[in-house]
Structure 1
Amino acid sequence: MAFLVLLLLLNFVFNAINAQSTSTIIKPGSFLSPINNSYLLSHSGQFAFGFYRYKNGYSVGIWFENIRQKTIVWTANRDASPFPSDVTLVLTTEGTLIVRPKQGQDVLIADTSSDNVSRLATSASMLDSGNFVLLNSSGGIVWKSFDFPTDTILPGQRLAVTGKLVSSVAESDHGSGKFLILMRSDGNLVQYPVGAVLERGAAYWATNTFNAGYGVSLNLDGNGHLYLLNDTGFNIKSINTNYVNASGKSMYRATIDTDGIFRLYSHSSNRFDDWYTEWSSSNYRCDPLGLCSENSYCVMMDGEPVCQCPPHFDFINEKRKELGCRKNYSLVACDTRNG
């Protein structure tokens, strides 16, 4: 019994030390590093901002910290190479948030440098909303991650006119992927393959609110309601039409996933639970145009989208079938001789 009490006491001390070693704010002169003091926690501990392991190094981002699945919701410079372990993240006296390597050039994360002192960041903080902010000397927000989303929006965050979310390459690769969702200036929220926004017929899902006018934004509230507001603050469309303010969940996020489908997820207060899909833009996972690349097509097998090649074509890469197919001229020649 005494041994058990000792273990519980040691665990309490360890957790207390760990909590003390994780800051809640960055000021000029303080820093984060991948190895020591690697992230900031929000006040409740729900969100973290800082370095996370990525590929063969580290990236800077925001994630859900107090659940088993440390879900990434924002990444700075998402298409850049991972950082090595000897870098530091610092807020300079000039109001810039940078990653500083031991050798080479600084990498900019956020910039508030200005001749106007009221616009100059003097501290940075991770809020319980999941919004990482830079603050001036009066505590006013002068920069926020909510203005620069990657593939996800959180409750209280909005996707304004011309704003977009871009899918990740893969679950383990947070670089820009193949699909996006765009808040168009005509009021229509539309999903496209990346690079095909201007192509006629390229959209594969939309809210059909193209007559709503300029100023429409996509919003998610704390009860899991996904909706469009016009510039007067009027709700013009509930996107998850079966929304019921009774799911009993405590966390929500809306993400355009790697497969090109926009989904609303919820999570209970039990940290060991999984994310639950409340709504999705399509229930047919072959809908996203461009899911399978050149000379290939999508079919559903056992509930999963699978890319296939037509006759006389082979996969460019058998391990990455989404890259598409190319013609196998030896098969074509063989069929010609046999014909």
Structure 2
Amino acid sequence: MRNVVLFSLPFLLICFQLCLATNTLHFGNNISQDNSNNLVSLERKFRLGFFSLPIESGSNTENLKKYLGIWYHDLEPQTVVWVANRNNPIVDSKGVFQIAKDGNMVVADASQSYWSTNLEASSSRKRVVKLLDSGNLVLMDDDHGYLWQSFQHPTDTFLPGMKMDINLALSSWKNENDPGIGSFAFQKAQTGDPRSYRVNNQSQLYWAFDGHNSDKMFNIILDLLENSTSNSLHKYRDITIKQRSFNYDKSRLLMNSTGDIQFWRWYDIQWMNEWSRPSDVCDRHNYCGSFSSCNKNNWIPCKCLPGFRRRLSDNDHGYLGERYQGCVRKSSKQCVTAATDNNMIFIKLTNIKVGNPDQGFSSETKADCQSLCLNKCSCNAYSYKATYNDRSYFSCWIWTRQLPTLQEEQDDGRDFSILVNSSDIGNLYLLNLYFKEEYYLLLSPFNFFDLFIIYH
């Protein structure tokens, strides 16, 4: 009998630890830095506790910064999805996480507070903290709804169950050893189009995506962002569109410290990066400037569109830092409808990806779409695609403002027709070569005239 008892002791110890794990923190209790009493969600998907990072890369383990965070409970390596005191780490003190006397969740030690939910003070002693299986940390008062939740205050990670709105943003870590707010942020674009998103680098637009694009993987991510992750049907005119379900278990959207917005999924023993943007320099917003195109396969990726020339700056350079300043029309475009100007023609480019259109219409034919453009004096280009999906009900797009950089040779691109003055095109033979991509207009940083390189 003794042997049986001794054999069972390890099992009993494990069972004892499991029984101690809880998803709820009550007023008067706390979570300490030794992680002996962390919160663990009911189905043991997520854990909340303190974790450590070196003060400097390569520094010894005795010199650590302490943070309160949430990570996946059973996945290695540790994958942190939320950090409370991201800009204010604990160093050389014994901080705890608890419900303070004013009813707020706080990370504090004996002398100072490192983080607080900053809600209106309350003397209620019925408040509890719960870690849900979704990864959401919530503050409740006697089970009467959420007073505060981490899903509305994310750091760099978006989890299934969250819902992106205009006030929500993912902000990158400074670097892999510092979860403080970094340079990059992912959020909805304030364009009025609920399907448009952007990554900002500080105050500058770094990458943009519109829901009209045909990036199939991002349509899955749009469902995640909109918290629409089940089968549904959309009907437009006589067209019924089925939105397929996707398994979002153990998946996350990450705004990383180098400016990439990434979608990760867990497979068996590791995380797999299934989608990442920007995918190359041409995918960055307006990398070559207005009225230009970018080809990632070319040594010099940028060139002007047909009928345009490079824009020169005050110092006669056609670029600014890492980016080009773009192109301008060789001859000015008068604000008269192209339908009454016989000198204006359309040039068709194929497999092109471009930013948000300024206007969208439901045109029955390409000719109808072209006519809409021709009768707008401000129209620069149009694109027609007679397909519909759950993201776009428009077949005709029109651009009336300056065109941002076009991306060439995109498998998910579309046909794109730009309006130019025929006198600005010149030799039709050269124009034919352009479409065969047998010459390039270089945007040189040197004080050269527009340079054509002809390949035979």
Aligned to 1:149, the other structure's residue is in SS state coil
Match of 1:205 among 198, 208, 218: 208
How big is the alpha-carbon RMSD for the aligned residues of Structure 1 and Structure 2? 3.7
The aligned residue for residue 11 of structure 1 is 10
> Structure 1 CA distance, aligned partners of 2:227 and 2:250?
22
Aligned equivalent of 2:87: 79
- Counterpart CA distance in 2 for 1:184 and 1:244 is 25
1:132 maps to what in 2? 137
Query: Aligned in 2, Cα 1:190/1:209: closer, same or farther, shift over 3 Å?
Result: farther
- For residue 283 of structure 1, report the CA deviation from its aligned partner: 2.7
Task: Tell me, yes or no, if the aligned pair for 1:24 and 1:42 is still in contact at 8 Å.
Answer: yes
The question of whether the paired residues in 2 share the 8 Å contact of 1:122 and 1:137 is answered with yes
Take 1:220 and 1:121, find their aligned partners in 2: how far apart are those partners? 40
Task: Note the C-alpha offset of 1:285.
Answer: 7.1
Measured after TM superposition, the shift of residue 244 of structure 1 is: 6.7
Alpha-carbon offset, residue 64 of structure 1? 0.7
Shift of the 204–100 alpha-carbon distance from structure 1 to 2, 3 Å rule, reads closer
Q: 1:46 to 1:12 in 2, by over 3 A?
A: same
* Contact 1:157 1:219 (8 Å CA) reproduced: no
1:242-301, CA deviations, whole angstroms, 9 ceiling, x for partnerless residues?
x97466x73110111122111111114x4xx11112222233278558xxxxxxxxxx9x
1:24–1:85: structure 2 CA closer, same or farther, 3 Å change rule?
farther
Alignment partners' CA distance in 1, 2:90 and 2:219: 31
Offset from partner CA, 1:78-122 (integer Å, 9 cap, x none): 1213344512211124211112313x22233323334697xx871
Question: What's the offset of the Cα at 1:15?
Answer: 1.8
Query: SS state of the match for residue 85, structure 2?
Result: coil
Listed as ranges, the gaps of 5+ residues in structure 2 are: 55-63, 235-242, 286-295, 297-321, 323-456
Residue equivalent to 2:426: none
TM-score in terms of structure 1 length: 0.65
**Residues 130 and 115 of structure 1, relative CA distance in 2, 3 Å threshold:** closer
How far apart, in 1, do the equivalents of 2:90 and 2:282 lie? Answer: 32
Structure-2-length-normalised TM-score: 0.50
Q: What does residue 92 of structure 1 align with?
A: 100
The 8 Å contact of residues 32 and 38 in structure 1, kept in 2 or not, is answered as yes
For the pair 1:107 / 2:110, whether they are aligned, the reply is: no
Rg bigger for which structure?
A: 2
**CA distance in structure 1 between the partners assigned to 2:141 and 2:220 by the alignment:** 27
Structure 1 residue 163 corresponds to structure 2 residue 163: no
The DSSP-based 3-state class of the residue aligned with 1:37 is coil
Whether the 8 Å contact between 1:96 and 1:121 is mirrored in structure 2 is: no
Match of 1:149 in 2: 154
Q: Which amino acid aligns with 1:226?
A: L
Q: Aligned partners of 1:143, 1:100: CA distance in 2, in Å?
A: 18
1:190 aligns with 2:198: yes
Question: Post-superposition shift, 1:38?
Answer: 4.6
Match of 1:284 in 2: 280
Verify the 8 A CA contact 1:191 1:205 in the aligned structure 2.
yes
Contact 1:182–1:191 (8 Å) recurs in 2: yes
Structure 1 unaligned residues grouped into runs of 5+: 197-201, 211-217, 236-242, 290-299, 301-323, 325-339
Give the drift of 1:73. Answer: 0.6
Q: Percent identity?
A: 23
